[in-house]
Structure 1
């Protein structure tokens, strides 16, 4: 993906200095439609007086509107909040941090990505279990069911299985399917990109995909059980993140 120059200008206009800014959402997952909005995600650095005072504010900055003709969904966390989320079983922030669709970066961003390898744990499977249950409910309760939430179901399951097996973060469904080789994924992506007339499924499709959902969910459970990943980040990882936070703040 070539980064639209407007995204650089939008990022530069954010209210606080950014440690990094990346693109998440459908663009990261490998199935953006022409009208997909841009999910800009990042970590910002609040001024020292703001974090030392009694009332913390702007720990999360959100902005959802059309900017320079682009439909934007912007979410950024202050570095302390972002770093604390990394130390929990939060797959969202890992995916945002490691997204290859980079709009803004710094040396500290590169350093954090290396440190964050030690944040990947077996317990991240619980994040993907919870996420996929929500997506499956959205998909199965629709009449008629749509392709888009189904693609999110598969993306979440494959990301979780891959993480448990390899310790790596991979959020792109097209890339994941190069290993999983699910024959129906390319067709589902093509149907989503083909427009509304191709983006719904019939009852036979629903029965098939329910079986696949249950099968892959069981694979995620088995992958978690067999994983050699840590239960929680090590003290060395936590110490490295704390050191980086102090240096970023003082800088």
Structure 2
């Protein structure tokens, strides 16, 4: 069986990367395109890491460690967020699955050797406690679904829980919902239909019985709890020293030209 893959947005991101004021270690596409359920009018969530010059870190004023920009480009809504390398690595060490998904996204707008090296350290950052990240994210999205009745947060709920389950069991970070639906046995059969409906309307209503999806979501929470309890992942990241060396070395190389 051929596993579906994340689909890149139909927009040229080269110019967006070139416009950034500081060097980028990488820029990737996240959000619905990465998760495998973009609609025709989905925005493009571009995420990455910029590298501040050493002088910016030495001044009295706090540096711009996170940059956020939203704008329209040729009819497509763009959402760009980048962190300075040091902040991004700190987020990696805080068991933040979201930044790890950005780092490992196969939808790459810009890459470097440093990006490849940072990706290689991901296995030594993954822990059993990343289950808490996905459990919490799923809870936030479920409450949004309850409030709005929209399909998008419901799909985000399923995606987060299935990513957490798959990670606990396999040690692999997989954010693509169609792939997860094929690889996680407990994935609800309704997902294919929901994904197809989301492709037709970004903010469409979820045409489901809430009691049924509530039972499925509660069941997946229980599966995630069990998967975490039986996970072979470490309790703590083991890559702190390697990441510390990486941040210093990359910054030094920038300073030296």
Cα 1:8–1:208 shift into 2, 3 Å: same
| Deviation (angstroms), 1:151 | 0.5
- Aligned equivalents of 1:135, 1:21: Cα separation in 2: 25
Of 213-222 and 45-54, more deviation after overlay is shown by: 45-54
Task: Please give the secondary structure, in 2, of the residue aligned with 1:216.
Answer: helix
Partner in structure 2 of residue 94 of structure 1: 100
In the other structure, the counterpart of 2:153 is 149
* Alignment CA distance shift 1:148-1:4 (3 Å): closer
What corresponds to 1:158 in structure 2? 162
> Quick one: structure 1 residues 108 and 139, their matched pair in 2 at CA, closer, same or farther if it must change by over 3 Å?
same
Aligned Cα root-mean-square deviation (Å): 1.6
Per the alignment, residue 42 of structure 1 pairs with 48
CA contact (8 A) 2:165 2:223 kept: yes
User: How has the CA–CA distance of structure 1 residues 248 and 35 changed in structure 2, closer, same or farther, with 3 Å as cutoff?
Assistant: same
1:230 to 222, 228, 234: 234
Unmatched runs of 5 consecutive residues or more in structure 1: none
Shift of 1:2: 4.6
Q: Distance in 2 between matches of 1:192 and 1:199?
A: 9
Moved more, 165-174 or 176-185: 176-185
TM-score (norm. length: structure 2): 0.91
- CA deviation map 1:18-72 (0-9, x unaligned): 0100000000000000100000000110011001222222100100111343211
1:16–1:44: 8 Å Cα contact kept in structure 2?
Answer: yes
Q: What corresponds to 2:91 in structure 1?
A: 85
C-alpha deviation, 1:3, in angstroms: 5.8
Alignment map for 1:1-251 (pairs within 5 Å): 1-2=7-8, 4=10, 6-142=12-148, 145-180=149-184, 182-195=188-201, 199-202=205-208, 205-234=209-238, 237-251=239-253
SS in 2 for 1:77: strand
The number of residues matched between the two structures is 245
Distance in 1 of aligned mates of 2:96 and 2:22: 24
2:3 match? none
**What is the TM-score of this pair, normalised by structure 1?**
0.93
Secondary structure of the residue aligned to 2:13 is helix
SS in 2 for 1:140: helix
* Other structure's SS at 2:68 match: strand
Distance 1:118 1:26 in 2: 27
Higher helix share: 1
Q: Give the direction of change, closer, same or farther, for the CA distance of 1:59–1:210 in structure 2 (3 Å limit).
A: same
The answer to whether the 8 A contact 2:163-2:174 is kept is: yes
Contact kept, 8 Å, 1:191 with 1:199, in 2: the verdict is no
- Unaligned 5+ segments in structure 2 are 1-6
